[in-house]
Structure 1
Amino acid sequence: MRDSTEWTDIRPGRPADVPAVLDLLDGAVRWLSDRGRPGQWGTEPLSANPRLSALVNRIAADGGLHVAVHGERVVGALGFGNPPAYVDRAPEPELYIVLLVTDRDHNGRGIGARLLDHARAVAADEGIGLLRVDCYAGDDRALVRYYEGQGFTATQGFVMAQPADPWPGQVLEQRLPPGSP
């Protein structure tokens, strides 16, 4: 059997990939809901959210979208952009991850880790020593623990007001040594 991190390629995303990325997000919503974890993204398809669709389209148009593909199928997506308004600004140049999602049918195959390795390589290529991301910090903080397991350190916590329940979030950062891939 091949190493699970070998079977995908990562390439720059393009606007034509946006529907596949939105499908991945919808699949993640279903997967979370099926496991009784709707706090992160709710229960409705994210593709129906005009604000999120616009964000994914903007990431693709700005050149910040990168996709993991198996053959021609998009099985993961990584997006870079500006930190959201609720996140404190970094005191130095940074690469901010605004999107990370993988195909739940390929859960456990290292796609997310491979995309994060790609983010580190992009940051190194650009001479950037700080990689940051924010995520859902509710329920049992499983997503925070995932990022910590990937070498990130929790920094700023925050709570976003929502119509129903507040949404707890966590900013995480990873400092990259100079010249690291």
Structure 2
Amino acid sequence: MTDAAKEALAMRRASVADAPAVLRLFDEVIAWFVAIGNPQQWGSQAWSSIPRRITQVTDACALPGAWVAETSQGEVRAFLALGDAMPYVPAAVEPELYVRVLIASRDPRVRGIGRRLMAFADGQARAAGVAYVRVDCYAGGSGDLVRFYESCGYERLSTFNMEGWPGQVLGRRL
């Protein structure tokens, strides 16, 4: 992606009004997962058709640490929700910022936005005076997602299993 294309995306606070656009991102990524043979991560059904998922995404968009990356035309290309740790991971032993949700379009014009959002999360942590950031992710399949977070400077901390869904918790000291 060229620098000009990267600059075309702007970060802004999300709101519940962004939930339909964020659900479209999930639907896009789920369709891609199915196409590459990875329906285990989030299933094969569009989240925009599942009431529980619609509620989860709407609630995430309402979080005070929710952000969208959008084009100058107002098209949402990525979503980031920061806040407290998820209830299914071990509690932090020090103040932290937790990456609760990170989803990005598969559109090649926004390639690299996930890495930019993780750097944005680091900046938000620093601005809040917090020196520790954690994230969890799907640890199954090829392991590419865990390796992505490692490439962003995160280290593996612990694993978990939620009803057959393998997860990995990673952390980074700033």
Work out whether the TM-score is over 0.5: yes
Size of the alignment, in residue pairs? Answer: 172
Q: Using the TM superposition, give the Cα deviation of residue 39 of structure 1 relative to its aligned residue in structure 2, in angstroms.
A: 1.1
Pair 45,104 (structure 1): closer, same or farther in 2 beyond 3 Å: same
Q: Using the TM superposition, give the Cα deviation of residue 117 of structure 1 relative to its aligned residue in structure 2, in angstroms.
A: 1.1
Quick one: distance in 1 between partners of 2:17 and 2:84?
Answer: 22
Quick one: distance in 2 between partners of 1:26 and 1:154?
Answer: 28
CA contact (8 A) 2:77 2:110 kept: no
What letter corresponds to residue 167 of structure 1 in structure 2?
W
Quick one: distance in 1 between partners of 2:120 and 2:95?
Answer: 18
Task: Point out 4+ residue stretches in structure 1 off by more than 6 angstroms.
Answer: none
What letter corresponds to residue 13 of structure 2 in structure 1?
P
Quick one: distance in 2 between partners of 1:15 and 1:110?
Answer: 25
- Is the partner of 2:6 in helix, strand or coil? coil
CA contact (8 A) 1:32 1:38 kept: yes
Partner of 1:129: 131
Quick one: distance in 1 between partners of 2:60 and 2:166?
Answer: 24
- State the TM-score, normalized to the length of structure 1: 0.89
Pairwise mapping of residues 57-136 of structure 1 onto structure 2 (< 5 A)?
57-71=58-72, 72-106=74-108, 109-136=111-138
Quick one: distance in 2 between partners of 1:128 and 1:95?
Answer: 7
Partner of 2:151: 149
| Unmatched runs of 5 consecutive residues or more in structure 1 | 177-181
CA contact (8 A) 1:30 1:43 kept: yes
Pairwise mapping of residues 4-83 of structure 1 onto structure 2 (< 5 A)?
4-71=5-72, 72-83=74-85
Q: Using the TM superposition, give the Cα deviation of residue 64 of structure 1 relative to its aligned residue in structure 2, in angstroms.
A: 1.9
Identity over the aligned pairs, expressed in percent?
A: 42
Question: Which deviates further from its counterpart, 53-62 or 142-151?
Answer: 53-62
1:67-113 Cα distance to aligned partner (Å, 9 max, x none): 11111110000012332222000011111111101111237621111
- State the TM-score, normalized to the length of structure 2: 0.92
1:44-85 Cα distance to aligned partner (Å, 9 max, x none): 112233333223222322322101111111000001233222
